[in-house]
């Protein structure tokens, strides 16, 4: 491999060669007796020859080394890691069957719960429902309320809704997805849309999180749909700032032609079935 010295070092070397020629002509054993004019003439010729050979090389190197590289190379900005968030929701019946030693995560469509979770983010909106280790469990049970009677179903404000949404959220990234916040939008019968932030636990690469959305409103203002906003905010592990990314939502096994809208909950939840979404 040929190593090319820097231009400045070559210039210093050229000056030393010229000075060495003068020194040798003045002090050499073969030339110190020469007449002064002869020494000067030969010295000028040698120096000119060296300059004729060196200067074109210096100019060429200067153009490539100084002109082309005059601006110091700048560090390229780090390339952001790609990340995608997907949420798929489908219809599931209630009661929800919970296998032994298992836990499900539930968002109740109830205005007070959703409003409090949006004000106090640390409390979270998810409720964990567990089954004991030795037997399964169906939820909800009699301890949470009761089912509508036939008479109550006939006189209810809409077709009773014995279903829940089963949703799975997945993060696709090479790093852990942290501080993920999406917007749950509840549409009610009065034509209003109510948005609430939902804070998710960190998602490792390729990991999914499954949860249920359960309507608890049997009277008052009844929700007719639960949707999600088009954008979410998140932060990747190792990054300081948050990102705003598309929130890709897909409805699965959704019989829209049979159930175009949600109805009042067929299960009367104790203390929370009468809903007022406009209360402060």
Do 27 and 102 lie in one domain? The reply is no
Looking at the domain assignment, is residue 69 inside a domain?
no
In this prediction, the residues of the chain whose per-residue pLDDT falls under 50 are 1, 70-72, 257-258
Do 115 and 243 lie in one domain? The reply is yes
Do 107 and 19 lie in one domain? The reply is no
Do 164 and 215 lie in one domain? The reply is yes
126-131, Cβ contacts within 8 angstroms, sequence gap of 24 or more: 126/211, 128/103, 128/104, 129/96, 129/98, 129/103, 129/104, 129/105, 130/98, 130/102, 130/103, 130/104, 131/98, 131/99, 131/100, 131/101, 131/102, 131/103
Using CA atoms, how far residue 31 sits from 15, 18, 23, 145, 165, in Å, is 21, 16, 11, 119, 105
Looking at the domain assignment, is residue 246 inside a domain?
yes
Do 126 and 227 lie in one domain? The reply is yes
Structure tokens belonging to residue 16: 């030393």
Looking at the domain assignment, is residue 242 inside a domain?
yes
Show the domain range for 41.
Answer: 7-63
Looking at the domain assignment, is residue 2 inside a domain?
no
- pLDDT for 71 equals 47
Looking at the domain assignment, is residue 38 inside a domain?
yes
- pLDDT for 50 equals 76
- pLDDT for 73 equals 52
Using CA atoms, how far residue 42 sits from 26, 29, 34, 117, in Å, is 11, 16, 11, 95
- pLDDT for 99 equals 94
Do 29 and 124 lie in one domain? The reply is no
pTM summary value = 0.69
Do 206 and 112 lie in one domain? The reply is yes
Do 115 and 223 lie in one domain? The reply is yes
Looking at the domain assignment, is residue 77 inside a domain?
no
Looking at the domain assignment, is residue 72 inside a domain?
no
Do 124 and 221 lie in one domain? The reply is yes
- pLDDT for 199 equals 93
Do 211 and 173 lie in one domain? The reply is yes
Do 103 and 237 lie in one domain? The reply is yes
- pLDDT for 136 equals 93
- pLDDT for 67 equals 56
Do 134 and 254 lie in one domain? The reply is yes
How many separate domains does the chain show? Answer: 2
Structure tokens belonging to residue 80: 């952001």
- 161, 264 in Cβ contact below 8 A? yes
Structure tokens belonging to residue 116: 């409090």
Looking at the domain assignment, is residue 249 inside a domain?
yes
């Amino acid at each position: 491999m040929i190593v090319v010295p820097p231009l400045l070092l070559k210039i210093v070397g050229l000056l030393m060669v010229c000075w060495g020629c003068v020194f040798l002509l003045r002090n050499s054993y073969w030339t110190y007796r020469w007449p002064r004019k002869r020494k000067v003439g030969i010295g000028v010729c040698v120096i000119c020859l060296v300059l004729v050979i060196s200067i074109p090389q210096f100019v060429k190197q200067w153009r490539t080394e100084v002109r082309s590289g005059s601006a110091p190379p700048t560090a390229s900005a780090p390339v952001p890691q790609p990340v995608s968030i997907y949420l798929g929701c489908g219809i599931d019946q209630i009661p929800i069957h919970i296998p032994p030693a298992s836990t499900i995560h539930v968002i109740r469509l109830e205005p007070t719960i959703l409003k409090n979770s949006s004000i106090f983010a640390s409390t979270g909106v998810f409720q964990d429902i567990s089954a004991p280790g030795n037997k399964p469990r169906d939820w909800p049970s009699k301890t949470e309320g009761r089912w509508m009677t036939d008479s109550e179903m006939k006189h209810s404000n809409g077709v009773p809704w014995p279903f829940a949404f089963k949703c799975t959220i997945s993060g696709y990234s090479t790093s852990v997805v942290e501080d993920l916040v999406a917007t749950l939008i509840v549409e009610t019968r009065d034509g209003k849309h109510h948005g609430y932030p939902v804070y998710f636990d960190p998602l490792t690469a390729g990991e999914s999180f499954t949860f249920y959305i359960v309507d608890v409103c049997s009277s008052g203002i009844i929700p007719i749909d639960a949707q999600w906003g088009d954008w979410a905010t998140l932060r990747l592990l190792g990054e300081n700032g948050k990102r705003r990314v598309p929130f890709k939502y897909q409805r699965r096994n959704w019989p829209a032609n049979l159930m175009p809208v949600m109805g009042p909950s067929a299960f009367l939840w104790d203390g929370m079935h009468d809903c007022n979404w406009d209360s402060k």
